[in-house]
Amino acid sequence: MNAHAATPKGPKLPVAPPPTLWRLFLAFLTMGATSLGGGVIAYLRTGLVSHYRWLDDETFVELMAISQSLPGLNATNMSILSGDRLRGWPGAFFAALGMCLPGAALMTAAAFAVGIGGDDPISKAFLHAIAAGAVGLITVVLVQLGAKVLGEIADYAFVVLTAVLVAFLHVPVLVALLGVGALAIWWHRPRKGTAPKPVDPHFKDHP
């Protein structure tokens, strides 16, 4: 598998000058309000790289790799990192605010709406069926993430070990994360004379 197959190699677009703080906030607010269906990273790339041209693809992929290795939601982390590149810490703050505000407002409103109509059997039927659909979506995310992140048999073993510990043996997530994480990092430890295999950080599907 060519790890870099997903990186577009077309002619490099010129990068536009950084936006004002207000323009930056509006852009992230727009992306935060329109990125329906969980594919926020795809919307971010389309917006920041193709539409506004504030970042080039290389920078976007670089920031993406940092976002995925750290705790925090991918879309929020990406907003913070690209906001910081464009406008320093105020940029990071307003980018994250714009990204989260629409979804957070909607979900807060949803809590009040469900609180009112929560026992209605029709909305229960609707929500339960949506939850089933969401299981399908999570499986897709899993397949895509797995294809990008997992390289050798040992990686799959770490996946299964983590999932069994957490979902079946009810080991606290933090313990599993630190325990299996340390084991997996040790497995991939830098060895003399072997170049580390690159990880494909380009990620454009569902986060």
Partner 1 sequence: MKQLLDLAAVFGYLSLLTVGGGMAAFPELKSLTVDTYHWVTFPELMHYYSLGQLAPGPNMMMVASIGAQVAGLPGAAVVLVAFILPTGLLTFGIGRLWNRLADWPWRPAVQRGLGSVSVGLVLAGGIVLARGALTNTLTVALAIGVFALLMLTKINPAIPIVASGLIGIALYLI
* Positions 140 through 159 that interact with partner 1 (CB under 8 A): 140-143, 145-146, 149-151, 155-156, 158-159
Size of the site for partner 1 (CB under 8 A): 107
Tell me how far the alpha carbon of residue 95 is from its chain's centroid.
15
Looking at residues 31 to 70 of the shown chain, list those that interact with partner 1 (rule: CB under 8 A). 32-40, 62-63, 65-70
Which positions from 107 to 126 touch partner 1 by CB under 8 A, shown as an x/- string? xx-xxx-xx--x--xx-xxx
Q: Which residues of 87-126 are buried (b: 16+ CB within 10 A; e: fewer)?
A: beeebbbbbbbbbbebeeeeeeeeeeeeeeeeeeeeeeee
Element at 131 (helix H, strand E): helix 121-149
What single-letter amino acid sits at 68?
A: Q
175 binds partner 1 (CB under 8 A): no
Among 49, 92, 94, 204, binds partner 1 (CB under 8 A): 92
In the complex, least distance from residue 187 CB atom to partner 1, rounded to whole angstroms: 7
In the complex, least distance from residue 163 CB atom to partner 1, rounded to whole angstroms: 4
Answer left, alpha or beta for residue 200, where phi above 0 means left and psi between -120 and 50 means alpha.
beta
The total number of residues written for the chain in this structure: 207
Q: Whole-angstrom Cα distance, residue 87 to residue 5?
A: 31
What single-letter amino acid sits at 119?
A: D
170 binds partner 1 (CB under 8 A): yes
In the complex, least distance from residue 55 CB atom to partner 1, rounded to whole angstroms: 13
187 binds partner 1 (CB under 8 A): yes
Residue with smaller CB distance to partner 1, 14 or 62: 62
Among 7, 20, 50, 139, binds partner 1 (CB under 8 A): 139
Among 55, 80, 86, 94, binds partner 1 (CB under 8 A): 80
Residue with smaller CB distance to partner 1, 15 or 137: 137
160 binds partner 1 (CB under 8 A): yes
Element at 161 (helix H, strand E): helix 153-163
Q: Whole-angstrom Cα distance, residue 16 to residue 35?
A: 23
In the complex, least distance from residue 18 CB atom to partner 1, rounded to whole angstroms: 16
Q: Please say whether the dihedral angle defined by the alpha carbons of residues 69, 71, 77 and 81, taken in this order, is positive or negative.
A: negative
